[in-house]
């Protein structure tokens, strides 16, 4: 074990691609979901695409759940064996009890492993925006920086990271509890497609569009307004819409000065409410 090594942990909602998880040695806490009474661990038992296939076959039996306390504690214990410090970036506490569970796991690990220091950060966001925070922390940890430096970098990214997404349907958004089912049915009939962002740890609707083309323009323009000509770290997200996401990634690469750009799928625990066809961007500019 390297002295003062920092191990970074996040959860599966952060939807960091497997190759980046492995490259930067990021620990992942898997969240759970249920389909037809069967429990699945997000990203372990099935891929996101496989999960969406299950969802589309039987959407009414699809239920979400947080990570079990045992799974969270197991992730922290594994990290404790790898380093002397743990930095954990967790899904917004406004959306899940996972942050509280992670804090409890952190305290337990510190009691079991004397000398281990644990910092648990509320990302105040979700999806690839959360993933960008965790990756920035992991990248600086890989250079040998200590817990204070890793925490400072993550705080800077959290203060600047944005997420904006276009939903191709409102058919399932009632599952989030934010609008009544009747409103989602009416919106679906009218072909209204919401655009949303995150603010203060919760989703916020920015407006609605009537076509995918306009929706994509809207999220691109929102990103352009935030970053301008600055170098940017970015991720393209999708819900069972890989072909559209690949095209969007190419456009982002062509139109922005990207220091980092990756493609990922929304975790099915978010995708079940957003619906298939959702496309999103997460990004933050260089200082």
64-94 confidence digits (pLDDT tens): 887 788 999 999 999 999 989 999 999 999 9
Rounded CA gap, 192 and 171, in Å? 10
| Least reliable range by pLDDT among 117-126, 151-160, 180-189, 253-262 | 180-189
- What pLDDT, on a 0 to 100 scale, did the predictor assign at position 181? 47
Average pLDDT over residues 185-200: 70
Residue with tokens 């409890």: 104
**What is the mean predicted confidence (pLDDT) over 92-113?**
95
Would strands 27-29 and 117-122 be described as parallel, antiparallel, or unpaired?
unpaired
Mean pLDDT in residue range 222-243? 96
Rounded-to-integer distance, Cα 12 and Cα 268, Å: 10
Cα 64 from Cα 96, distance rounded (Å): 11
Instruction: In whole angstroms, give the CA distance from residue 278 to residue 126.
Output: 15
Ranges of CATH 3.30.1180.10 domains, the chain: 162-285
Q: Which of 91, 233, 94, 252 is nearest to 160 (CA)?
A: 233
Check if the beta carbon of residue 125 is closer than 8 Å to that of residue 13.
no
Tell the CATH topology of 162-285.
Hypothetical Protein Tm841; Chain: A;domain 3 (3.30.1180)
| Residue 78 tokens, joined | 């594994």
Mean pLDDT across the chain, nearest whole number?
Answer: 89
Angle of CA points 146, 151, 155, to nearest 5°: 155
Residue range 44-67, pLDDT digits in tens: 898 888 888 888 888 888 888 877
Tell me how many degrees the CA angle 233-11-21 measures, rounded to the nearest 5.
55
Give 5's contacts (C-beta < 8 A, 6+ positions apart).
82, 83, 84, 85, 141, 144
Q: For 9-13, 134-138, 156-160, 188-192, which range has the lowest pLDDT when averaged over its residues?
A: 188-192
- In percent, the amount of the chain with pLDDT more than 90 equals 64
In this structure, of 120-124, 136-140, 187-191, the range with the lowest mean pLDDT score is 187-191
Buried b (16+ CB within 10 A) or exposed e, 94-128: ebbebbebbbebbebbbeebeebbbbbbbbbbbbb
Between the CA of residue 264 and those of 25, 43, 209, what are the distances in Å? Answer: 18, 12, 24
Tell the residue number behind the tokens 């899940």, with chain if given: 96
Q: What's the pLDDT score for residue 155?
A: 98
* Domain 6-31+66-159: CATH superfamily, name plus number: Dihydroxyacetone kinase; domain 1 (3.40.50.10440)
User: Residue 173's pLDDT is what?
Assistant: 62
pLDDT score of 287: 77
- pLDDT at residue 185, as a whole number: 42
- Residue bearing the bigger pLDDT, 66 or 106: 106
CATH 3.40.50.10440 positions along the chain are 6-31+66-159
Q: Say which residue the tokens 């004397």 belong to.
A: 114
Name the DSSP class of 63.
E
């Amino acid at each position: 074990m390297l002295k003062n090594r920092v191990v970074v942990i996040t959860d599966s909602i952060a939807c960091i691609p497997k190759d980046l998880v492995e490259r930067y040695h990021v620990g992942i806490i898997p969240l759970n979901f249920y389909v037809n009474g069967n429990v699945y661990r997000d990203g372990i038992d099935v891929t996101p695409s496989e999960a969406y296939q299950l969802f589309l076959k039987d959407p009414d039996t699809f239920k979400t759940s947080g990570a079990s306390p045992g799974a969270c504690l197991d992730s922290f214990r594994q990290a404790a064996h790898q380093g002397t410090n743990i930095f954990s970036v967790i899904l917004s506490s406004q959306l899940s009890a996972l942050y509280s569970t992670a804090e409890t796991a952190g305290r337990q690990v510190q009691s079991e492993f004397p000398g281990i220091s644990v910092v648990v950060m509320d990302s105040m966001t979700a999806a690839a925006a959360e993933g960008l925070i965790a990756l920035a922390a992991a990248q600086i940890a890989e250079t040998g920086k200590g817990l204070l430096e890793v925490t400072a970098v993550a705080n800077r990214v959290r203060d600047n990271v944005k997420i904006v997404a276009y939903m191709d349907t409102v058919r399932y958004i009632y599952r989030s509890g934010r609008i009544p089912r009747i409103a989602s049915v009416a919106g679906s009939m009218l072909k209204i497609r919401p655009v949303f962002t995150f603010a203060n740890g919760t989703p916020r609707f920015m407006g609605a569009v009537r076509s995918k083309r306009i929706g994509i323009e809207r999220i691109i323009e929102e990103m352009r307004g935030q970053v301008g000509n600055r170098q940017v770290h970015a991720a393209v997200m999708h819900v069972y819409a890989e072909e559209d996401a690949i095209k969007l990634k190419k456009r982002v690469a062509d139109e922005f000065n990207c220091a980092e750009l990756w493609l990922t799928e929304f975790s099915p625990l978010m995708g079940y409410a957003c619906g298939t066809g959702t496309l999103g961007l997460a990004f933050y500019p260089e200082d």
